[in-house]
Amino acid sequence: MDTSLAILLSMLLPAAAVVTNLLFRNSPNLRDGLTLGAAIATFLVVLNILVTVGNTTTDTFVLLEVMPGLELAFNVEPLGMMFAILASGLWIVTHVYGIGYMRGNNEDDHARFFACFSFAIFSVMGIAFAANMFTLFLFYEVLTLSTYPLVAHKGTLAAVKGARTYLSILIGTSIGLQLVAVIWTFAIAGTLDFTRGGILEGLIAGPSVAILLALYAFGIGKAALMPFHRWLPAAMVAPTPVSALLHAVAVVKAGVFTMLKVGIYIFGIDFLAATGASVWLMWLAAFSIIASSVIALTKDNLKARLAYSTISQLSYITLGVALATSMGILGGGLHVVTHAMGKITLFMCAGSIYVATHKTNITQMTGLGRAMPITFMAFLIGSLSIIGLPPLGGSWSKWLLIMGAADAGQLTMIGVLLISSLLNVAYLLPLVGKGFFLKTTNQTGPTKFSESPTLVWAPPAFTAFGCIILFFYAGHIQAFLMPITAAP
Amino acid sequence: MPWTSAAVIIGGLSLIGVPGTAGFLSKWLLVQAALEQGYWPIAMLIVASSLLAVVYVWRLVETLYLSTPHSEQTIQEAPLSMLLPLWIMALACIYFGFETDITLGAAKAAAQALLAGSSGMLH
């Protein structure tokens, strides 16, 4: 298949799913079946691009020129390719899970829910294949708007308030800071094309470099860098499939993906290293890592704890960019995949516990492991991957980040990553331990085997297995990403 | 009134200046011009006005979609003769977010005529 056509198809298929969801709103099986078909087809189209293009960068395919120099344009490059595979592949898993969750939980408005979900995937594909910052920014905003109805889905007062926080922080940072950064970049460089080695070297100097980087780093609110992280816990009012795919994978990864793209293709890591403009960002990312892990320890609501854990893990990737070394960005890139696989497992487990028992707080989950062994085993595997222990995928990305910190001569950062691992142990493993080894304290909890419906427990078991697979194939992903570190 | 409400959202997004709408491009040009001239405060004010637009547009969206309607009266969608022009304008907001030959061309011609006119009077 022609690559340009394939890129278009990867966006049109999710867009078509939006339409079919609205058209067949009253026939649930047809509607959900068609969306599943669209998800599988999208994944196959993306795989097709992988097979024909591999990890090289293709020529830009210009869909249309909006203003002179500003084009809606797409191409394939290693990071975007990886992101597209990740998002489209996990869309299939999450859709299956979503059907089970929404039906098992008797939620309302399935059609609107799955339509917005598909719309979000459409924008993620646009972000993954964007060839310039203008296109990326456009789809970045579409992603914010399409996920707003999902956060507000339940329509309760808490949901409306959470959604308001979500929208105001994400739109506020992107229009107030990121857009200014983008236009400033365009004004000095005359282009916004993602170019190996960056487009700014020699055109900007002094403190302006750090200021521009700050406008980007804070403007990319989806990366949840402190102090613009509050939207992520606020988004947890959404149904769990949304938290799983969008707020552990698609939306937050779109944020750190943008961060990586800006660091690698707008500034260029050599330029960042030479000017030292990213040193402050490194310290801020380190602060975010530790501070949000400590906050996670204090949260009893499982989804809130996972949300703060995500904020911490996203800052790993920002840290990778800020280190401005090859190993740092490789580790950051790999962490996009390994964290996605681990965290989606944890969120789907949280949803599974909720569907089976309607429990949301960790203290209520004591002893549940014996009743729900599959869910709790998946949770254990996902946790170990997030902590970064072999034989699970998460160990490699953490390893690369530590190497990156060593290359940059930042030994403190190695310490930060190690302390973070210990904190991860402290906030993730007690749930599993108490779940398996303690007896239920109250009499309301189930004592014999009572797993959630198959469609709800099977997806997290599958992604937990994925965490193990990633350990053995991380080397392939690293080799795949290698071109992003090459000099122009 | 699903059709009217959806059009309200599109128009609102263009007022905010979300990318992909006509309002985005005019804002882009204004900010770019301000930055090129070094007028940082002006650029920031333009951006701030967008953020204010988010606030007032979203109050409307929350009222339209997330409040419980008064159940006493049954409300019907407006007649087609009202919906049609309304949707033509809403779609134009998006169309002119991508197609700029007409708008930008006309604006350029007007700008040139105005600038030429005023300099003509000066000399």
The pLDDT confidence band at residue A53, using thresholds 50, 70 and 90, is: confident
- Per CB-CB distance under 8 Å, the chain A contacts of B28 are 67, 70, 183
Q: Which of A142, A149, A152 sits opposite B20 (nearest CB)?
A: A142
Q: Which tokens is B113 given?
A: 């005529």
Give the B window 28-57 contacts with A, CB below 8 Å: 28-29, 31-32, 35-36, 43-44, 47-48, 50-51, 54-55
Q: Which of B28, B50, B65 sits opposite A183 (nearest CB)?
A: B28
Q: Is B116 on the interface with A (CB under 8 A)?
A: no
Sequence-distant (≥ 6) Cβ neighbours of residue A151 within 8 angstroms: A159, A162, A163, A166, A234, A235, A237, A238, A242
Nearest to A181 by CA among A206, A217, A216: A216
Residue A437 Cα distances to A198, A358, A369, A427, A429, angstroms: 53, 21, 8, 17, 12
Give the count of alpha carbons within 13 A of A115, CB side only.
Answer: 15
% of chain A exceeding 90 in pLDDT: 23
Residue A320 Cα distances to A80, A128, A292, A382, angstroms: 17, 19, 17, 22
- Indicate whether B118 pLDDT > 90: no
Partners of residue A132 on adjacent β-strands = A193
Residue count of chain B: 123
- Indicate whether B72 pLDDT > 60: no
Distance (Å) from the C-alpha of residue A113 to the closest C-alpha of chain B? 14
Residue A20 Cα distances to A25, A32, A38, A116, angstroms: 8, 9, 10, 12
CB contact under 8 A, B13 and A164: no
B61, B12 Cβ separation under 8 angstroms: yes
Which has the higher per-residue pLDDT, B74 or A222?
A222
Instruction: Round to whole Å and give the CA distance between A292 and A314.
Output: 11
Q: What is the ipTM of this complex?
A: 0.80
- Indicate whether A485 pLDDT > 90: no
> Which of A190-204, A242-256, A406-420 has the highest average model confidence (pLDDT)?
A406-420
Judging by DSSP bridges, how do beta strands A70-74 and A61-67 pair with one another? Answer: antiparallel
Instruction: Round to whole Å and give the CA distance between A467 and A83.
Output: 16
Residue written as token pair 């390994």? A338
Nearest-by-CA chain B residue for A64: B98
Instruction: Round to whole Å and give the CA distance between A331 and A1.
Output: 32
Q: What is the pLDDT of residues A288-347, one digit of tens each?
A: 999 999 999 998 888 889 999 999 999 999 999 998 888 888 999 999 999 999 998 998
- Per CB-CB distance under 8 Å, the chain A contacts of B29 are 67
What's the rounded mean pLDDT across residues B58-75? Answer: 71
Give the SS3 label for residue A327.
helix
Give the SS3 label for residue B43.
helix
Q: What is the pLDDT of residues A56-109, one digit of tens each?
A: 777 888 888 877 778 888 989 899 999 999 999 988 888 888 888 888 777 777
- Per CB-CB distance under 8 Å, the chain A contacts of B98 are 64, 66, 72
Q: Give residue A122's Cα distance to chain centre.
A: 15
Instruction: Round to whole Å and give the CA distance between A264 and A258.
Output: 10
> For chain A, which residues make up each domain, given as ranges?
278-488
- Indicate whether B122 pLDDT > 50: no
What's the rounded mean pLDDT across residues A150-178? Answer: 87
Distance (Å) from the C-alpha of residue B53 to the closest C-alpha of chain A? 11
- Angle of the A373-387 helix axis to the A394-407 helix axis, nearest 10: 10
CB contact under 8 A, B19 and A137: yes
Give the B window 63-102 contacts with A, CB below 8 Å: 65-66, 97-100
> For chain B, which residues make up each domain, given as ranges?
2-68+78-98
Residue written as token pair 């990312």? A285
CB contact under 8 A, A72 and B98: yes
Sequence-distant (≥ 6) Cβ neighbours of residue A138 within 8 angstroms: A72, A126, B19, B20
- Per CB-CB distance under 8 Å, the chain A contacts of B32 are 183, 186-187
The pLDDT of residue A284: 92
- Indicate whether A205 pLDDT > 90: no
Rg of chain B taking only CA atoms, in angstroms: 19
The pLDDT of residue A278: 86
Give the count of alpha carbons within 13 A of A261, CB side only.
Answer: 32
The pLDDT confidence band at residue B120, using thresholds 50, 70 and 90, is: very low
What's the rounded mean pLDDT across residues A281-285? Answer: 91
Nearest to A44 by CA among A13, A19, A76: A13
Instruction: Round to whole Å and give the CA distance between A82 and A170.
Output: 24
Helix (H) or strand (E) holding A110: helix A110-129
Mean pLDDT score across all residues of chain A: 86
- Indicate whether B68 pLDDT > 70: no
Q: What is the pLDDT of residues B84-109, one digit of tens each?
A: 888 888 888 888 877 777 777 778 77
The pLDDT of residue B117: 61
Q: Which of B28, B51, B62 sits opposite A160 (nearest CB)?
A: B62
Distance (Å) from the C-alpha of residue B10 to the closest C-alpha of chain A? 11
Q: What is the pLDDT of residues A425-471, one digit of tens each?
A: 998 888 888 888 877 665 555 556 677 777 788 888 888 998 998 89
Residue A14 Cα distances to A19, A43, B30, B67, angstroms: 9, 10, 34, 29
Range with the poorest average pLDDT among A3-12, A230-239, B74-83: B74-83
Instruction: Round to whole Å and give the CA distance between A112 and A88.
Output: 20
Instruction: Round to whole Å and give the CA distance between A483 and A301.
Output: 42
Sequence-distant (≥ 6) Cβ neighbours of residue A89 within 8 angstroms: A43
Nearest to A310 by CA among A360, A344, A354: A344
Q: Please calculate the CA angle A400-A401-A403 and round it to the nearest 5 degrees.
A: 65
Q: Which of A66, A167, A175 sits opposite B47 (nearest CB)?
A: A175
Q: Which tokens is A70 given?
A: 């500003």
Instruction: Round to whole Å and give the CA distance between B112 and B117.
Output: 8
